[in-house]
Structure formats: C-alpha cells, structure tokens
Structure 1
Amino acid sequence: MTRSDPARPRGRKRAEQVAFGLVQDIVARGQHAGDKLPHEAELLAEYGVSRSSLREALRLLEVQGLVTIRPGPGSGTEVGGIDPANLASTLVLYLMMQRVNMDQLLDAWGMVEPLLADLAARNPDRARVRALMDPFATGAVRQDRAPASGLAFHEAVADLSGNPVLNLVLGAVGVLVTDQVRTGARDFRLSDATVDAHEAIADAILAGDGPGAAAAMRRHLDEVKQEIRQALPGYHRNIYLPD
C-alpha cells in the first residue's frame, strides 16, 4: 500500500490529536455538560501546542457539540452534551457520499428498532419505564402530530434499551429520518395509525413483553415506510443535507 492509496488511513493532524486528548481528559476528570475547561493559557501549557492548533481542536469539538465556546463576559469553554442530532449532522455527510437513499435509511432503522423495543420492555427500572412510556400509552400526547413527537417516542424507546451505543447511533438515524421528512414534506403529520402504534408499543413495553414490543415496532415501521414513500416524491433519490 502506497501513500497515494486512498484506502490508507491518513495520520491525524495535530489539532485532531489535541481534540482527542481533550475528550480523554474530560472523561478522566469526570466532567459533565456545563463544566468549565481550563483557561486557554493552561491548555496551551498542558498540551504543548500552538494557539492555532488548540483553537482548531476546540472548533472541531464545538462542531460536534462536545464543547461550547462562550465569547464575551464570562467567556470560556464548557463541556457540551451528548446529542444524537450532532452525530446526525456528520453521519448525513457520509451517507450522502455513499449515495444512500431514503429506502435504505429506513431499512437500517427498521432492522434495529425492534431490538430496542425488546430491550426497553426488559428494562428492570420499571419506574423509569413508566415515566417515559406512560405519556404515549395513555394518549397524553395524542394530539401532537408533529414529526418531532414521533422522534421523541423513538428516542424514549432507545433510552430505555440501556445500551448507549444503540441509543446514540439509532438516535442519530432517527434524527436523519425526521429531518428528511421535515424538509421534503413540510406538511407531513403523524397519522392515526402511527399514534395507535406508539400506544401499542408503549403498552407492550410497560407490560414487560419484549417479543410483543418488537413485533409491534416492526409492524409500525413497515407502515411508516409506506406513509413516507407516499409523502416524499423523491423517496428513491439519494438523501440530502436538510435545511
């Protein structure tokens, strides 16, 4: 393999190395969202890099939502949060380069969501299960037909799965699906069938019925796929960068 071979992994730039170091140190210090990072002078001394490399590293992390840079009075850098939407903003670029279409995106989503529903039903923290599923099972959010409401349901199921990897990755895919629909079909609203399906899935999760929750989720996503196909005239075209 030569240097010109496109399959050869490229070496990390200095700023990327610093970005990785910053994240490792955030974790090692036990910091969480909102905690302050050391001042720039301290970071420069700690990492032994130029100001331009440090600032580029911080910008890389800021784009990912992993830090927040606050200018002006009270300025400084804070630890950010873990938001699937930030991962989605990067993931969509890779999927665009791969010429992925909406059908393939939904297929991938549909393969894993039933597993999440099964895991959510088996979650031993039944108080948390009730807190997240009751609003959907009781119809408390039935009148909210915005796509974001559907995303909130799937995020709650992913949360209850207890697997942070699946939660983050599938959360990002869910954001991508919602953004594609929001951009391509601005009048799209959750159907009665979707709301009914959310109630049925929530009921199965509350009952601790893993196989039932998985089966209900599978049926639901099959229905959603057909609804989106009808709503998006460019359904089979490659996905695009949302507005």
Structure 2
Amino acid sequence: MSLYNARAKRSVRIPKASELIARKIKHDIVTKVLEEGQLLPPEVKLMDEFGVSRPTIREAYRILEADRLVSVTRGAKGGAVVHRPDPQLITEHILLVLGWEQAKVSDFYEARATIEPGMARVVALKASKTAPAVLQDILDRARLQIKNTEDFAEVLTEFHTALVDLGGNHMLKHVAAAMHEVILRHKALVLTQLRRDKNDTDFFADAEVGLKSYKKLITLIQNKKSDEAEAHWRRHIQRANETWLAQFDIPIEDLYHELK
C-alpha cells in the first residue's frame, strides 16, 4: 500500500466555512491588517464578501470571541470590535494542562531555576543601562512591603518576572508570566506559614538575606559582569527553592483550592 493510499484511508476533517472565516480574520489581526479597537465590517458586508449566510458569520464571531479576539455587541450601534491577542490565554491553557497532568509547584520552581540564571547573564550583557533601575524600583518596594505577607510575596515574584522580561525573549516572557501566578500564590502561602513559625526578628533577618542577594544581582548587572550574575543567580535560586519547597511541594490544583 502506498503512503498516499494509507493516508487516504484516514478520516479527513474539512474545516467549516465559519472556521475558515475566523482563521482569515485571525490572520488579519496578527498581521495588523485589522488594528485593535477597529470595527469589523457589518455582517451584511461580510456575508457578501465570503458568500455565506448570517448564521455562518455569527458562528465565526463566536470562534473569535472564544479566543478574545473580538467582542460583539448587538443593536443599531453594535458590531464586532477587534482586540489584540490576549497573553493571559497562554497562562490559562498552560495551567489547565498542567493541572490535568497533576504538576506540582516544584515543576514551576525547577523551570525558573533553569531559565533565570541564563536570563541574568543576558540582561547583564544587553540591558545593563536600563535593567538596574527597573529592578531597584521593585527591590525598594519589596522593602516597604516586608511586613505585609501578600504584598511582599507579590513584589518578590514581580522581581523574577521582570528579570526575564528584561532579557527580551518573547517566548520566555510568556513562560515567566504563566509561572508568575502559581509562584505568587505559593509564596504567599509559604510566607504566611513562616510568619507563624518564626518570631519577627528571625523572619525579617532571613528576608533581609534574600533582599541583599537581589541587590547583589542588580550591582552585577549594572557592572556588566554577566558570568558572575549568572553564577550568583543560580546559587540564589537553588538556595531559595530549598526554602520555598521545604514543606509545600503540592499539586498546583491543591494550591488554588487552598487559596480560594
């Protein structure tokens, strides 16, 4: 049997007209033929352009709405308004899949340990003039929020996400954003428990050790010491992960249930 005949025996799904129309509009949004905030042509015009019925156009709208690429309002002044692709969808789908796979919080911390040291090196090489001010601002806010567990967790997590953003890699930027929410929730949980287990003196002393390590990274980046920045941040992440995961390596679904 030829390869062609073998393939021919498989069922082939032909896309519906609504799917093809939605695909065309998606392409126009991605290529910026259609700009954010722009109205799509009236339904009647789209029906004529694509040679389809009104229900087909509305089904295409529903496909685009599900991807948050348009929002549709009815009425005389209504229409379909174009939106830029929403990065939050990446986070939601990643968390959905990883929740189903019963991924643990440690998976996120291990991913961060793989990504961030290399990004510290990249930032020192490429963004030594702009990155220090951004990271220093976050560090300053962390010191102000050290007594507020949830706010402190949020600013600490922001520092790590910003480090990856400053590296300028679009793919890693969205991966870091997907990790951000889980790690933020987890850190808030761990910090709350540490505040209960430790007296204030010990808790704040331990926090200060971490903040000094953040400051050292900023200085290394500012001085363009890329090798040292990478090595320092690798050590920092390894030590920090031991603290964050010591008692709380739980499935991410349990984490969300815990904080609802």
TM-score normalised by structure 1 residue count? 0.74
- The CA distance in 1 between the partners of 2:167 and 2:191, in whole Å, is 31
Larger radius of gyration: 2
Equivalent position amino acid for 1:28 in 2: T
Structure-2 change in CA distance of 1:11 and 1:157 (3 Å): farther
- Asked whether the 8 Å contact 1:100–1:239 carries over to 2, the reply is yes
Name the residue aligned to 2:115.
112
- The CA distance in 2 between the partners of 1:181 and 1:18, in whole Å, is 44
- The CA distance in 2 between the partners of 1:223 and 1:199, in whole Å, is 16
Name the residue aligned to 1:187.
192
- The structure whose residues are more often helix, as a share, is 2
- The CA distance in 2 between the partners of 1:131 and 1:113, in whole Å, is 18
Structure-2 change in CA distance of 1:37 and 1:159 (3 Å): farther
Q: What are the within-5 Å matches in structure 2 for residues 21-60 of structure 1?
A: 21-29=24-32, 34-39=36-41, 41=43, 42=45, 50-60=56-66
Q: CA deviation at 1:18?
A: 4.7
Q: CA deviation at 1:27?
A: 2.5
Name the residue aligned to 1:99.
102
Q: CA deviation at 1:142?
A: 1.9
2:135 to 121, 133, 138: 133
Does residue 79 (structure 1) correspond to residue 92 (structure 2)? The answer is no
Q: Tell me the alpha carbon deviations over residues 39-74 of structure 1, each in whole angstroms, 9 at most, x when there is no partner.
A: 451555555661342132122212xxxx36265877
For the aligned residue pairs, the C-alpha RMSD in angstroms reads 3.7
Q: Tell me the alpha carbon deviations over residues 106-127 of structure 1, each in whole angstroms, 9 at most, x when there is no partner.
A: 112211111111111111572x
- Asked whether the 8 Å contact 1:14–1:53 carries over to 2, the reply is no
Q: Which sections of structure 1, spanning at least 5 residues, go unmatched?
A: none
Q: Tell me the alpha carbon deviations over residues 68-95 of structure 1, each in whole angstroms, 9 at most, x when there is no partner.
A: 6265877642323653x43221101111
1:156 to 155, 162, 165: 162
Q: CA deviation at 1:224?
A: 2.7
- Asked whether the 8 Å contact 1:136–1:199 carries over to 2, the reply is no
Q: CA deviation at 1:36?
A: 2.1
How many residues were matched structurally?
228
Q: CA deviation at 1:155?
A: 2.2
Name the residue aligned to 1:240.
253
